[in-house]
Amino acid sequence: MSQSILKISHLQKSFGQNHVLKDLDFSVRRGNVISIIGSSGSGKSTLLRCINLLETPDSGSIIYQNKDVLKASNSEVNAYRTRVGMVFQNFNLFSHLTVLKNCTLGLTSILKIKKDEAEKRASFYLQKVEMSAFVNAKPHQLSGGQKQRVAIARALAMEPEILLFDEPTSALDPQMVGEVLAVMSQLALEGLTMLVVTHEMAFAKEVSDEIIFMKDGIIWEQGKPNQLMQNPQRPETSEFLTRFRQC
Amino acid sequence: MEQFYLGLVKSWTRYGNSYLLGARNTLLISLVGTFFGCLIGFAVGVLRTLPISPKDKWQKRFLNRLLNIFLSTYVELFRGTPMIVQSVFIYYGARIAFNLSMSMWTAAFFIVSINTGAYMAETVRGGILSVDQGQTEGAKALGMNHSQTMFLVLLPQAFRNIIPQIGNNFIVNIKDTSVLSVISITDLFFVHKSVVGSLYLYFESATITMVIYLTMTTTAAWALRHLEGRLDGPQHYDLAAIDTLAQTSGLLSYKAKGEVGHD
Ligand SMILES: Nc1ncnc2c1ncn2[C@@H]1O[C@H](COP(=O)(O)OP(=O)(O)OP(=O)(O)O)[C@@H](O)[C@H]1O
Ligand SMILES: [Mg+2]
């Protein structure tokens, strides 16, 4: 059994009266791909945003390298974020910078890597997502699928230990979903540790090592893709899955 | 009508150089004032958008609060009073209250800068706040701290959106420096008043003065639009030839899944 690199315990988060995450526990093992599924409003995004501290959880712990990141100082949090990257539904590419600069900015400013070294590394990852030809383009000149691939390259260039994806294909036209999922499958094959919130059931089933089903801020069921999808243990899971197949 | 032309010619031939000198002074004060005003505006805008979280120590939150009160007082004070009154107040006030005799030039630069700063401060703050929240999240998710996020991501984008406002302030300054004649700055308007004082050709001199002001403001507007276009860069991008650098640069270091072990 490979070691767990991220351990989340008793995670709670409320927005005012709205109790969004209710005592979540799970851990992420090195090289694993975990897909998080569940209906809208179940707290999937909030969970990911809590993991990289874009939202501050109310209580619980997130243990990374034997340290609770919820008790970390600001600079420790920043260092942690360089190790746990994030890809957003809406890409969040820096709109004033070219594709190449988007990928080098973090390297030069945060990791203090020299410019030419950073450009080499960025080019390498841009090639991985097949966006090398677009280094001089600005984000607004790209299609959604291209933007998302650049966003993935930007996150990869930091060479994180874990990459979080929050519905990376939900803002894309159907014909562009495939190109992004292909990149993600490739990364999974190469052994990148990934936590993916997705509505792409086929992707979740094929690529993940584990699937987490969330409902109302609770992990309702967690298991191997085949088992969870074909033989769900809880009625709520099968209800979600049948509803999903219908639409 | 003929008399009007003659008057124009007379004013210009006698005092042409004075008009030009006045115009130069007007431009100089406006330029310097706008420049320092922008610096002040950016500094105040950045300071007023410093984030504070409940996690911070109370001392820090207290200082931040104090700073904000101070800065908003500054903004309200200078936006809320006419520059002509400020000029008199500062120029003579500095002498009487602090026994500090400023040269009128120092006073002029100071007044225009601090005035522009008050307007720019709000513009910059608004500009920073109006950058899409996703940009901040993208930067933070990479691991940037607040100042990296501010200076590398937010300000460059805010700056692009603020340029029209900078231009606007510059043009307003070209016109509004005319009030500095109350502290005897020899700007264009002051020259006009002097010329009128000696030739009594009110309409003629005013015509010349109007034309010079208009030339300066329209030229400034044109130059700024040009600058905006330059900053936006090309509308198209070139596809790069497939980069050979990438192929030779290091290998992906993620271990193959098989090696990681199973459960
Ligand atoms: N910043 C916020 N302030 C207040 N409430 C929020 C905030 N963010 C999320 N919520 C609430 O938290 C709940 C969970 O939202 P979340 O975005 O995590 O759901 P989700 O599972 O990602 O849904 P979707 O599939 O639609 O993306 C929702 O009820 C939402 O309204
Ligand atoms: Mg979501």
- What is the pLDDT, as a whole number, of residue A108? 97
Pick the closest to residue A222 from A19, A16, A24, A6 (CA basis): A24
Residue B39: pLDDT band (50, 70, 90) is very high
pLDDT at position B244 over 90: no
Q: How far apart are CA A82 and CA B139, in angstroms?
A: 11
Compute the half-sphere exposure of residue A58: CA atoms within 13 Å on the CB side of its CA: 14
pLDDT in tens, B175-205: 999 999 888 889 999 999 999 998 998 899 9
Separation of A55 CA from ligand 2 center, angstroms? Answer: 13
Whole-number Cα distances in Å, B13 to A108, B188, B216 = 61, 16, 21
Using the Cβ of B240 and the Cβ atoms of chain A, whether some distance falls under 8 Å is answered with: yes
- What is the pLDDT, as a whole number, of residue B92? 87
Contacts of residue A199, defined as CB under 8 A and 6 or more positions apart, other chains included, come to: A37, A167, A170, A244
Strands A33-38, A193-197: pairing is parallel
Q: Can you tell me the mean pLDDT for B36-60?
A: 90
Q: What are phi and psi of A220, to 5 degrees?
A: -80, -40
Q: Can you tell me the mean pLDDT for B112-132?
A: 95
User: What is the residue type of A183?
Assistant: V
Residue A15 pairs in a beta bridge with: A18
pLDDT in tens, A100-138: 999 999 999 999 999 999 999 999 999 999 999 999 999
- What is the pLDDT, as a whole number, of residue A98? 95
pLDDT at position A24 over 90: yes
Q: How far apart are CA B12 and CA A76, in angstroms?
A: 69
pLDDT in tens, A211-232: 999 999 999 999 999 999 999 9
Percent of chain A with pLDDT over 70: 98
Q: Can you tell me the mean pLDDT for A35-39?
A: 95
CB A211 within 8 A of CB A222: yes
- What is the pLDDT, as a whole number, of residue B57? 85
Q: Specify the 3-state DSSP secondary structure of B257.
A: helix
Indicate which residue's Cα is closest to atom 4 of ligand 1: A15
Whole-number Cα distances in Å, B138 to A49, A104, B169 = 12, 14, 32
CB A54 to CB B254 under 8 A? no
Q: Specify the 3-state DSSP secondary structure of A236.
A: helix
Residue appearing with tokens 């594709």: A99
Using the Cβ of B255 and the Cβ atoms of chain A, whether some distance falls under 8 Å is answered with: yes
Indicate which residue's Cα is closest to atom 30 of ligand 1: A41
pLDDT at position B254 over 80: no
Mean pLDDT of chain A: 94
Q: Can you tell me the mean pLDDT for A54-64?
A: 95
Q: What are phi and psi of A63, to 5 degrees?
A: -95, 120
CB A124 to CB B246 under 8 A? yes
Indicate which residue's Cα is closest to atom 2 of ligand 1: A15
Q: What are phi and psi of B185, to 5 degrees?
A: -75, 135
pLDDT at position B54 over 80: no
Per-residue tokens: B182: 């109350």
Ion ligand 2 nearby residues (CB, 5 A):
A 45
CB A163 within 8 A of CB A32: no
Buried b (16+ CB within 10 A) or exposed e, A197-218: bbebbebbeebbbbbbbbbebb
Q: How far apart are CA B28 and CA B217, in angstroms?
A: 13
Residue A1: pLDDT band (50, 70, 90) is low
More confident residue, A141 or B96: A141
Which ipTM did the prediction report?
0.93
pLDDT at position B245 over 70: no
Pick the closest to residue B176 from B240, B92, B127, B113 (CA basis): B113
Q: Chain B contacts of A86, Cβ < 8 Å?
A: 141
Whole-number Cα distances in Å, B171 to A33, B37, B39, B47, B216 = 58, 13, 17, 26, 8
Q: Is the CB of A18 under 6 A from ligand 1?
A: yes
pLDDT at position B233 over 80: no
Which ligand is closest in space to the CA of residue A36?
A: 1
Strands of the A67-68 sheet, one edge to the other: A18-29, A4-15, A59-64, A67-68
Q: How far apart are CA A27 and CA A50, in angstroms?
A: 14
- What is the pLDDT, as a whole number, of residue A244? 79
pLDDT at position A200 over 50: yes
Residue B253: pLDDT band (50, 70, 90) is very low
pLDDT in tens, A173-192: 988 999 999 999 999 999 99
Domains in chain B: ranges and CATH:
2-232 (1.10.3720.10)
Q: Which helix (H) or strand (E) element contains residue A154?
A: helix A144-157
Percent of chain B with pLDDT over 90: 63
CB atoms within 10 A of CB A67: 13
CB B249 to CB A1 under 8 A? no
Which ligand is closest in space to the CA of residue A44?
A: 1
- What is the pLDDT, as a whole number, of residue B241? 57
User: What is the residue type of B10?
Assistant: K
Handedness of CA A88, A91, A92, A97 (dihedral sign): positive
Mean pLDDT of chain B: 87
- What is the pLDDT, as a whole number, of residue B255? 35
Question: CA of B241 to nearest chain A CA: how many angstroms apart?
Answer: 6
Q: How far apart are CA A150 and CA B212, in angstroms?
A: 52
The C-alpha angle B205, B168, B68, rounded to 5 degrees, equals 125
Q: How far apart are CA B97 and CA B115, in angstroms?
A: 21
